[in-house]
């Protein structure tokens, strides 16, 4: 993977500012609007646009006949106004003629129903016919625009797997068998991995294997996890087929595809995909049904930085105001667009993209907000976009710097796929819950965490959190143990280390992979009823889960105080080498997490980015010469803070104690950070 800064300066990408822009769809508008668009883009400070995401039917109106006149004109117009182009391959949604001529490429849902064209992404992930046509379109685009001066980055497809994965058609069934043969080599290995001695499922021929389609009872869980792996790998192959064409024509132009790193979207293993991106980019939209959507936003930003290996990344899409796809689509209040954007920048984004530039008049997303809304440029949204554009320019010196984080939170898509299978001790165990709890607790303390894969290098972290890592490979468990031996404080939570990569139970007592590290042994799970709580000896409580736990070689920190587990350990600690390993056997309340995280961070020597009042988000980015402290006031009250530095937002020198107004942001240039 290229360094982000190095990759993006190869063409016209803006490097003297946080890049600012978004999805631009000139094909939706008459040409007289285009001139107004570039005038308003200049007014707003737009420095890049993503062009042509859903343009296949315009680029290839009928099979084999290409038309780029409108795109030629758009590219020239944008270049004339100094706007860099992230040029999409247009392959996210095939045109109607494709589906009409090739109905065998239509996806099939879990119940065997064909999904018909009429929206987007209506294609089978395994289809070689789709690949052939998509690659032909990309070949045309690359040959046509490879030397265009506006071209700064390639954008392959769009939001892979948002709508067409998993697919259960016969094409996918054949591709799945091929994938399994590559993975296992021999049927005996597959039968062992899938545990097919149970329920008489043993396979004698590859042709007998199907996708985990709707069946009479509980499907084979390892088969289901392998199908999730297959789906992610299959779409990655589609991406790589397009990428190969682009790399051949323009080896100096970075290639990306936009991930969807909201914590609820887990259809692709982005850790595997990340290695094939020149630049990590993602889309994020706050989930308003959550108790704290902004906390999830911050989690997703830290997760995206984890994909990028700590390097800066691109926020390809977020919303200027309301979206159109939630039950109630709340408009953003004054300053909220800027606050949300600055959370991403604080946590590593060097580019801010929106969906979209101009709100559509027709179609399924016509009520999705845009930088230029239906009301036009005389609007709250456009005025705030202009303020954000000026701020993006003022923050140019931050570009290329890294986020300071001494804490790692482990996140694994394969563990998520296995954890969410049916027939587990409790359907209330959601893979993301504890990770979100811990991350939110750290954020409230102004402590930043990297959200990383279990295989990541953990040696630089003072505190390592292992939340509900249900599936755990031997090397991952060894890496966590090595971090503790070397001096880190490690925390493992319930329902971690239970199974291996084949979803086979690790025998001898839970939490199998971490049992020796933690010095505990769990005999039996005691999941709690919905809404039930269990009292703990420190006066706090837990929910969702409890366990019959023995402290074999560990200090008991907290116990359960209610039957049937009264007196049984709930939180333990074991000294390990130069560090320590903690275990938590229930889902702690927010108060309990706050108490425990204070103790863990103190033990590990983890410091906050700044000492600030509650409700002020504080995150630090740094380079060798200087650092930048981001302060975001999410409250409706003014707060006093005591930190020094030059505020890039307004150029004011801040010293001593000063007031950060309600809803305001501040970015302070400070001396180099020394941890």
Catalytic residues: 159, 317
- Distance (Å, whole) CA 491 – CA 434: 12
CB 86 within 8 A of CB 49: yes
Q: Is the peptide bond before 86 cis (omega within 30 degrees of 0)?
A: no
CA dist 369 and 319 (Å) reads 6
In angstroms, rounded to a whole number, what is the distance separating the alpha carbons of residues 173 and 179? 10
Using alpha carbons only, give the angle 303, 305, 309 rounded to the nearest 5 degrees. 115
The strand ranges marked E within 536-597 are: 541-543, 547-551, 555-559, 569-576, 579-584, 587-588
Reference 121, options 153, 154, 98, 146; nearest CA is: 98
Token pair belonging to 655: 């010293």
> Is-contact 215 110, C-beta < 8 A?
no
Cis bond upstream, residue 412 (ω within 30): no
Strand partners, 279: none
- Do residues 243 and 156 make contact, with C-beta atoms less than 8 angstroms apart? yes
Within 10 angstroms of residue 21's Cβ, the number of other Cβ atoms is 28
Distance between CA atoms of residues 300 and 281, nearest Å: 12
* Cα–Cα distances in angstroms (integers) from residue 383 to residues 93, 331, 372, 670, in the given order: 33, 15, 10, 30
**Burial of 619 per CB tally in 10 Å (0-12, 13-18, 19+):** buried
Residue 482 and residue 459: Cα distance in Å, rounded? 8
In angstroms, how far is CA 314 from the centroid of its own chain? 12
DSSP assignment string, 149-212 = TTEEEEE-SSSTTSSS-S--SHHHHHHHHHHHHHHHSSHHHHHHHHTTTGGG---SSGGG----
**Residue 150 and residue 449: Cα distance in Å, rounded?**
36
Which residues make Cβ contacts (< 8 Å) with residue 441, sequence separation at least 6? 590, 593, 594, 597
Sheet holding 281-283, edge to edge: 255-256, 151-155, 84-88, 48-51, 19-24, 349-354, 313-317, 281-283, 258-260
């Amino acid at each position: 993977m290229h360094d982000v800064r190095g990759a993006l300066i190869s063409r016209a990408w803006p490097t003297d500012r946080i890049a600012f822009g978004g999805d631009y769809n000139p094909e939706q508008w008459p040409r007289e609007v285009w001139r107004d668009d570039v005038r308003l883009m200049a007014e707003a400070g737009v420095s890049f646009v993503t062009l042509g995401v859903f343009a296949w039917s315009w680029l290839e109106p009928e099979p084999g006949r290409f038309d780029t006149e409108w795109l030629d004109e758009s590219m020239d117009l944008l270049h004339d106004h100094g706007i860099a182009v992230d040029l999409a391959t247009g392959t996210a949604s095939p045109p109607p003629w494709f589906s009409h001529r090739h109905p065998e490429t239509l996806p099939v849902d879990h119940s065997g129903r064909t999904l018909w064209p009429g929206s987007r992404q209506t294609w089978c992930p395994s289809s070689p016919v789709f690949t052939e046509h998509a690659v032909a379109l990309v070949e045309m685009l690359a040959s046509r625009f490879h030397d265009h001066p506006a071209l700064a980055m390639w954008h392959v497809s769009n939001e892979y797997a948002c709508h067409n994965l998993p697919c259960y058609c016969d094409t996918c069934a054949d591709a799945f068998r091929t994938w399994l043969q590559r993975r296992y080599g021999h049927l005996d290995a597959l039968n062992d991995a899938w545990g097919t001695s149970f329920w008489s499922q043993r396979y004698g021929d590859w042709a007998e294997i199907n996708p985990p389609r709707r069946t009479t009872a509980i499907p084979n869980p390892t088969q289901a996890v392998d199908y999730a792996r297959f789906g992610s790998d299959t779409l990655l192959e589609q991406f790589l087929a397009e990428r190969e064409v682009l790399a051949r024509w323009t080896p100096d132009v970075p290639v990306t595809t936009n991930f969807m790193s909201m914590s609820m979207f887990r259809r692709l293993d982005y850790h595997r995909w990340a290695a094939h991106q020149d630049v990590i980019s993602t889309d994020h939209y706050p989930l308003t049904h959550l108790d704290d959507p902004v906390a999830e936003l911050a989690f997703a930003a830290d997760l995206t930085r984890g994909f990028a290996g700590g390097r800066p990344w691109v926020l390809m899409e977020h919303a200027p105001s309301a979206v159109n796809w939630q039950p109630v689509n709340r408009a953003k209040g004054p300053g909220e667009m800027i606050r949300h954007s600055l959370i991403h920048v604080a946590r590593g984004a060097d580019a801010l993209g929106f969906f979209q530039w101009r709100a559509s008049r027709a179609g399924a997303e016509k009520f999705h907000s845009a930088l230029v809304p239906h009301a036009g440029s005389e609007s709250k949204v456009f005025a705030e976009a202009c303020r954000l554009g000026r701020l993006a320019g003022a923050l140019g010196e931050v570009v290329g710097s890294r986020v300071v984080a001494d804490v790692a939170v482990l996140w694994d898509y394969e563990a998520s796929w296995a954890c969410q299978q049916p027939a587990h001790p409790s359907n209330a165990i959601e893979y993301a819950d504890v990770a979100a709890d811990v991350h939110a607790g750290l954020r409230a303390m102004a402590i930043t965490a990297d959200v990383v894969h279990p295989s990541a290098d953990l040696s630089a972290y003072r505190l390592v959190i292992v939340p509900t890592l249900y599936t755990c490979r031997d090397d991952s468990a060894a890496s966590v143990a090595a971090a503790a031996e070397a001096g880190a404080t490690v925390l493992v939570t319930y329902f971690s280390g239970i199974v291996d990569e084949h979803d086979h139970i690790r025998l001898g007592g839970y939490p199998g992979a971490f049992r020796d590290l933690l010095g505990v042994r769990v005999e039996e799970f005691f999941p709690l009823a919905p809404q039930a709580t269990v009292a703990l000896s420190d006066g706090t409580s837990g929910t969702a889960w409890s366990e019959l736990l023995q402290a074999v070689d560990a200090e008991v920190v907290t116990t359960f105080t209610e039957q049937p587990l009264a007196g049984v350990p709930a939180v333990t600690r074991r000294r390990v080498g130069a560090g320590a390993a903690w275990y938590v056997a229930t889902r702690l309340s927010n108060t309990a997490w706050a108490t425990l995280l204070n103790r863990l961070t103190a033990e590990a020597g983890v410091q906050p980015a700044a000492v600030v009042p509650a409700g002020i988000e504080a995150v630090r980015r740094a380079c060798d010469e200087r650092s930048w402290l981001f302060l975001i006031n999410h409250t409706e009250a003014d707060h006093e803070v005591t930190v020094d530095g030059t505020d890039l937002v307004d150029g004011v020198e801040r010293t001593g104690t000063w007031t950060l107004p309600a809803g305001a942001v501040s970015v302070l240039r400070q001396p180099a950070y020394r941890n």
